[in-house]
Amino acid sequence: VRAGVFRGVGDVRVEEVTEPRIRNVADVVVRVVRSSVCGSDLWPYRGVEPWESGWRTGHEITGVIEEVGSEVSTLAVGDLVVSAFAWSCGSCSFCREGLQTSCRTVQFPGRGGQDGGHAERARIPMAEGSVWKVPSSTPEERYDAVHLLSDVLLTGYHAALMSGLAERTGVAEAVGPAVVIGDGAVGLSALACAKYFGASPVVVVGHHEDRLSTARTLGADYTTALEGRDLSAFVNEVTDGGPRSVMECVGATAAVKAAVILARPGGSVAMVGVPTAVEKWPMGLAFAKNLTLRIGVAPVRAYMDHLGPVVASGALDVAPIASHRFALEELGAAYEAMDRRQCIKAMVIPK
């Protein structure tokens, strides 16, 4: 089969690789119908994170099951499934607690020679603990949105939950304002989830006019740049003294600082941006403001059960985040477009 293979910094190719086969009793093999390039795929691509030459690429996978291992009982050939970006057993104590990213036998697509999502077909280990079955009634026009459950959408959902929004949902007028820092796919997902929980107004702080325009499409009440005008004065004004919920979806020093500065005293800051370049944390200010700080990687497999049906039914439409489409053979161009920030999310769709 054809699959994306990492060959060095700035060099991801589509090559002929060994046909995926069931190797363990809990495996499934899927025909990939959607995959995508993630912001975090760019770290090996840019040489920031080590990735071996020959390892596959792509951790966001939606596919139709073609083969099942002998101990797979809840999934069947023909099922459409979305795979979490972290593969988990589904039965250890962390999986049972809903923290599948800390599974005792966690594995990741591509890493260590695993199959990746940028492929015509892929083997998914520990399938029952790793994938979510898409309702068969889901029309194909929702596949892009459903595919985003594999990572970015549920990372944004994690931010919304950790920033306390869900706790205030259902209490009239108590959800209140929220600020999202970051206009990438995760930031836009956090925005969509904040609106879903009823936050208002929601301010999205970003850099790129095209992405901020998508933010407005997804319901952002205000969009603004991180630099330039007095961000703090602006946010204070439109949120009546600062938001209780701030979602930091970048993972760089300036974004973390801004999150702590913008939060209302007594508020919550959720950090889901992978901290790649956070040198200094504004702990003193967070202390003075009595902030609740939460940080972490999203256990997306747990959240698929919450938000999957909402997305599959069309009640939450996040398709605008899936901004560009590439054929599998155009994988190199998809990486370049993401690297140059020419698109929000590069969908990679095998023929």
Question: Contact positions toward Zn ion, by CB under 5 A?
Answer: 38, 88-89, 92, 95, 103, 151
Minimum distance, C-beta of residue 60 to Zn ion, in the bound complex (Å):
5
Q: Write down the least CB distance from residue 183 to Zn ion, Å.
A: 16
Q: Which CB sits closer to Zn ion, 106 or 291? A: 106
Tell me which residue of 125, 104, 102, 105 sits closest to 113, measured CA to CA: 125
Strands of the chain (E only): list them. Answer: 2-8, 11-16, 28-37, 61-68, 80-83, 121-124, 131-133, 178-181, 202-206, 222-225, 245-248, 268-271, 292-295, 324-327, 346-349
**Least distance in angstroms from the C-beta of 201 to Zn ion:** 28
Q: Closer to Zn ion at the Cβ: 184 or 243? A: 184
Min separation Cβ 220 and Zn ion, Å: 22
CB of 85 to Zn ion, least distance (A): 5
Measured from the CB atom, the residue of 91 and 290 that comes closer to Zn ion is 91
Q: Which residues contact 255 (CB under 8 A, 6 or more apart)?
A: 181, 182, 226, 248, 249, 273
Six token digits for residue 62: 């939606």
- The least distance separating Zn ion from the CB of residue 322, rounded to whole angstroms, comes to 13
Contact between residue 291 and residue 260 where contact means Cβ atoms under 8 Å apart: yes
Task: Let me know: does 248 contact 181? Beta carbons within 8 Å.
Answer: yes
| CA within 13 Å, CB half, 9 | 6
Closest to Zn ion by CB, 99 vs 310, is: 99
Write the Ramachandran bin of 198: left for phi over 0, alpha for psi from -120 to 50, otherwise beta. left
Nearer residue to Zn ion within complex by CB, 95 or 271: 95
Please, which residue, 118 or 142, has the CB nearer to Zn ion? 118
Q: How many angstroms separate the CA atoms of 116 and 3, rounded?
A: 8
Tell me whether residue 103 or residue 328 sits nearer to Zn ion (CB atom).
103
In the complex, least distance from residue 214 CB atom to Zn ion, rounded to whole angstroms: 18
**Nearest to Zn ion by Cβ — which residue?**
38
User: Do the beta carbons of residue 278 and residue 253 sit within 8 Å?
Assistant: yes
